[in-house]
Each structure stands twice: as structure tokens, then as C-alpha cells.
């Protein structure tokens, strides 16, 4: 039995909440469900799924407001991966990321999951995943996925 049903939220620090919100609402069409300015910081909640939220807090002078480039050298949480619900949504996201110049559009085949990487406006490493086998069995080393890359 699994005692959890998923990730509720991921909290990230950003140097510019307005730029963060614009990027995630445009590329992923995540609606802003809450915004607040406090004495300590500005923050916002963006709906990432039926029961999941991306919680951004603006702290421009915080040493953690910019992502680090080296995998497994980024800190306790290395990266964020978002699920695309359909191949069509995956393709729309892919096109938007290419158009913004934050991804070359390369897709990796991991077996039950297709994966595409980019860096968000703060330099945080993000992956977009398309689950192609809900059993999540048969993971393997990343291989280029040419069928979608050439579309």
C-alpha cells in the first residue's frame, strides 16, 4: 500500500517572482491560485496538477535564488520534473521551450517515460516527462527519441 498520493507542492526561491510567474503561466499554462506580499517576501502558488502546486518565493538577495548547472551538485533537491498529461501537451510545451530558446527540444527515451530538459528563468534544471507506460517498468539509460525530435 502507498500511503501518499503524490507531491503536494515544491517550494522554490526566485530572484524575480513576476518573471517566474510569466514563464510558468505561459509555457505550462499553470494558473496562479494565490499571491501575497509579506514583509519578508512575495510569494505565489501555481497549480501544477489536480493536487500539486509550485510555490515560488521571491528573495532576490538569497544565495539560492539562482539554480546551479551541475547535476548532483545543485543541492539537496537536484531538479524538478513535471508530467505532461498527453503527447499533444508534451509537444506544445516542447515548442514553447524551443521558441523561448531555453531548450534544443531533444527528447530522451527512458523506457516508460520520455523526457526533455531545460533551465527556467532562474537557472533551475527542469524536466518535462511524458509517461508512455503507466507501469513505469523497464527504465533504461537515456537514448535519443527521434520520432518526436524530427516532427
Q: Do domains 1-60 and 79-151 have the same CATH topology?
A: yes
Q: Which CATH number describes the domain made up of 1-60?
A: 3.10.180.10
8 Å CB contact between 44 and 13: no
Q: Which CATH number describes the domain made up of 79-151?
A: 3.10.180.10
- The DSSP output letter for 67 is -
Pull the grid cell for residue 11. Answer: 517550494
Give the start-to-end residue ranges of the domains of the chain. Answer: 1-60, 79-151
Q: What is the pLDDT of residue 120?
A: 93
Residue located via cell numbers 524530427: 150
High-pLDDT (> 90) share of the chain, %: 68
For residue 65, CA distances in Å to 12, 69, 79, 108 come to: 8, 13, 14, 28
Q: What is the mean pLDDT of residues 89-108?
A: 96
pLDDT digits (tens, 9 = 90+) for 59-82: 988 888 888 888 888 776 778 999
High-pLDDT (> 70) share of the chain, %: 95
pTM above 0.85, yes or no: no
Amino acid at each position: 500500500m502507498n500511503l501518499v498520493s503524490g507531491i503536494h507542492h515544491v517550494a522554490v526561491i526566485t530572484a524575480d517572482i513576476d518573471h517566474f510567474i510569466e514563464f510558468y503561466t505561459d509555457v505550462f499554462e499553470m494558473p496562479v491560485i494565490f499571491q501575497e506580499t509579506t514583509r519578508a517576501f512575495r510569494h505565489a502558488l501555481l497549480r501544477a496538477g489536480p493536487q500539486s502546486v509550485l510555490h515560488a518565493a521571491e528573495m532576490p538577495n538569497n544565495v539560492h535564488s539562482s539554480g546551479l548547472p551541475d547535476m548532483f551538485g545543485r543541492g539537496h533537491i537536484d531538479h524538478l520534473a513535471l508530467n505532461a498529461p498527453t503527447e499533444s501537451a508534451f509537444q506544445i510545451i516542447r515548442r514553447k521551450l524551443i521558441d523561448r530558446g531555453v531548450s534544443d527540444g531533444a527528447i530522451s527515451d527512458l523506457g516508460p517515460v520520455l523526457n526533455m530538459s531545460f533551465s527556467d528563468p532562474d537557472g533551475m534544471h527542469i524536466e518535462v516527462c511524458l509517461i508512455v507506460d503507466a507501469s513505469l517498468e523497464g527504465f533504461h539509460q537515456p537514448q535519443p527519441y527521434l520520432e518526436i525530435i524530427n516532427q
